[in-house]
Structure 1
């Protein structure tokens, strides 16, 4: 049951896996592999849902998507849209992460299969970073 809670906590947009992993390890006392796996999977499901809902959101807010494309075009052109999606998905910092990676993948037109691979790989990296940081903080305390 705690695994399922961890999965759903990772689906909360602001919390994502950077909050789900420490909660799973400290509150639910899950083993590392379960905390990591269920957090990454929950966050990945959220990312896929957001990516797939992109068309509906683009219809509702076309000017927001166009503004975002124009504002960040130079960075995307310099680094490549796939690199941007991976890096945004792999950074477990506030206001950047899986959700931002999914939005960037949609906004900049990354094909679904490539986006899923980039976002999933980025989440795995982010999860490892969060596990290491969590254990570093626990050991300091």
Structure 2
């Protein structure tokens, strides 16, 4: 699981390897949501540590923080519903990991951010699984 691809690539890849769409979806959703609470809680500390210990990565940290703030502007208006919708859109840069980064930088409490993130990932998983199934049936 990589942050840019997340389940949007994992589900079609799993189906291509012979997994059923449901199994691929379940595995992808679980793999996607496991790191989310840790990202929400620890990402700011990790970025601070990176700035102090690995100054060569400052530009990467700046880029990630800028991305979180830009994406956060879209989420701020609708709070947790906005976070769910943001994560549910199956496009690159809108997944669970970015959503968790946004939640961390908007100081959303973990107990409210995690259900929104999990819901968004589940919705995205269903959408991607449906699209994968349609493509698979069309090709075969």
Instruction: Report the TM-score when normalising by structure 2.
Output: 0.77
Q: CA deviation at 1:73?
A: 6.9
Structure 1 residues 87 and 67, CA gap change in structure 2 (3 angstroms): closer
User: Equivalent residue for 1:99?
Assistant: 97
Moved more, 34-43 or 82-91: 82-91
2:106 is matched with which residue: 101, 105, 108? Answer: 108
The one of the two structures with greater contact order (alpha-carbon pairs below 8 A, sep at least 6) is: 2
2:10 pairs with 1:20: yes
Residues 81, 108 of structure 1: 8 Å contact kept: no
Q: What is the DSSP-based 3-state SS (H/G/I as helix, E as strand, rest coil) of the residue aligned with 1:14?
A: coil
Q: What is the alpha-carbon root mean square deviation over aligned residues? A: 2.5
Structure 1 residues 73 and 12, CA gap change in structure 2 (3 angstroms): closer
Instruction: Report the TM-score when normalising by structure 1.
Output: 0.76
Q: CA deviation at 1:58?
A: 5.0
Q: CA deviation at 1:18?
A: 0.7
Q: CA deviation at 1:57?
A: 3.8
* Structure 2: runs of 5 or more not aligned: 52-57
Residues 68, 102 of structure 2: 8 Å contact kept: no
Structure 1 residues 66 and 21, CA gap change in structure 2 (3 angstroms): closer
Residues 11, 129 of structure 2: 8 Å contact kept: yes
Distance in 2, matches of 1:128 and 1:24, equals 14
Residues 81, 105 of structure 1: 8 Å contact kept: no
User: Equivalent residue for 1:132?
Assistant: 130
